[in-house]
Structure 1
Amino acid sequence: MDNLVLDGGFADLVKDSQSVFRSVMDALSRPGLRRPIDVEAMPPAPLSPEVAAVALTVADHDCPVWLDETLAGSEAVVAWLKFHTGAPIVGDPREADFALVSGWGTLPRLDAFAIGTDEYPDRSTTVVLAVESFEGAGRTITGPGIKDTETLAIAGITEDFIAQWALNRELFPCGVDVLFAGAGQVVGLPRTTRIVEA
């Protein structure tokens, strides 16, 4: 088997998975807060190390994963994910527990993903989106896990995404959650969070 497939996973599977899991849970419970990804994953390009670390932590053989067209088009990425996580790769984003997206340009509309049902709102997709940084103009956010207000600063975020997010939030308890991953950090945006209109 190609060494690119065998290599690049966590150095210490248990310890590294626990570390990333804590960061992901903290990020979702405290929206807008940057949490560190202090582990090294070296996946084949164009899969980013931060998105890869989240995938190694949350995906397994019972967890369908959808890849954007850039990631799905890389045989090395698909093989690496299958080898290290065992997760089935699905072609329909509505069938995915997690969606891995390589950047804003390949992010589908949020309503393309599974939103869950009133009976099972947890049967929705969590989108893991690679971002370049957490710099730039911030937007005020409110909601559970935020004392008063928090600032969401994500490089590349668009007004169209913000409009889609408002519609997603109206679906509560259904709707998707988003994890932004990049620059050695992860930031959570759960469906309960409101992005305040400018």
Structure 2
Amino acid sequence: MDAAVLNGGFGDAPIDAARAFRAAMQAMARPGTIHEVTGAEPPAPLSTATGVLILTLCDPETGVHLAGGHDCAEVRGWITFHTGAPFVSAEDCDFALGTWEALHPLDRFRIGTAQYPDRSATLIVERAEVRAEGAILTGPGIRDTARLSLPDVAAFRANASRFPLGWDAYFCAANRLAALPRSTQVEG
């Protein structure tokens, strides 16, 4: 096994995981807020923020789909060693990660069912930047409005129109992350 696969996990797992979990949940509860996270040093092309989310949210029961250039031996080995998460198709995943372009077509991801809307996918979108500007967000967890740089406003508007069905999304760049739950209304 490549030594790089063994490295890059949380140094102080209980403390690092608790901080990371709080940041991930705060980001989802307060759409448009940007959180800095540390503790993971995953292999390229994963960002620190994506590595932190994977270490925090994935385990042997959560199926992961790797899209595009993120589907490589180094990333597969790192995720397997640190989380034990199985790799699955886009249609069966709990988490899908890659660039926005690589994650397309989006209609292949689970959106839940009327009886179980929570059985949907969460997209982890790698971005060059995550900024509090651009699209206008309203809805639960947002006092008046928030802003977030989104890759495609129309796709997120369409996703929100299916609520309570739909997928949720995290956006990661370097050590920064933000989230957009399906309940958030998006305007250009």
Is 1:82–2:80 an aligned residue pair? yes
Equivalent position amino acid for 1:31 in 2: P
Indicate the SS of the match to 2:33: coil
Match of 1:179 among 165, 170, 173: 170
- Which segments of 5 or more consecutive residues in structure 2 lack a partner in the other structure? none
Please name the residue that 1:169 is paired with. Answer: 160
Q: CA deviation at 1:110?
A: 2.6
Indicate the SS of the match to 2:155: helix
| CA deviations over 1:138-189 (Å, ceiling 9, x no partner) | 12110111111111135xx2xxx21121221111111000000113221110
Please name the residue that 1:54 is paired with. Answer: 53
Do the aligned residues in 2 keep the contact of 1:110 with 1:168 (CA within 8 Å)?
no
Q: CA deviation at 1:18?
A: 0.8
- Which segments of 5 or more consecutive residues in structure 1 lack a partner in the other structure? none
Match of 2:146 among 150, 158, 179: 150
Q: CA deviation at 1:104?
A: 2.8
Q: Determine the C-alpha separation between the residues in 1 that align with 2:132 and 2:27.
A: 19
Do the aligned residues in 2 keep the contact of 1:69 with 1:106 (CA within 8 Å)?
yes
Match of 1:109 among 73, 88, 105: 105
Indicate the SS of the match to 2:163: coil
Please name the residue that 1:41 is paired with. Answer: 40
Q: Which runs of 4+ in 1 moved over 2 A?
A: 134-137
Equivalent position amino acid for 2:91 in 1: R
The percent identity for this pair of structures is 40
**Which range moves more in the overlay, 40-49 or 50-59?**
40-49
Please name the residue that 2:66 is paired with. Answer: 67
1:62 and 1:172, CA in 2 relative to 1: closer, same or farther beyond 3 A? same
Please report the TM-score for the alignment, with normalisation by the length of structure 2: 0.94
Q: Determine the C-alpha separation between the residues in 2 that align with 1:63 and 1:35.
A: 24
Do the aligned residues in 1 keep the contact of 2:133 with 2:147 (CA within 8 Å)?
no
Equivalent position amino acid for 1:191 in 2: R
Q: CA deviation at 1:136?
A: 8.0
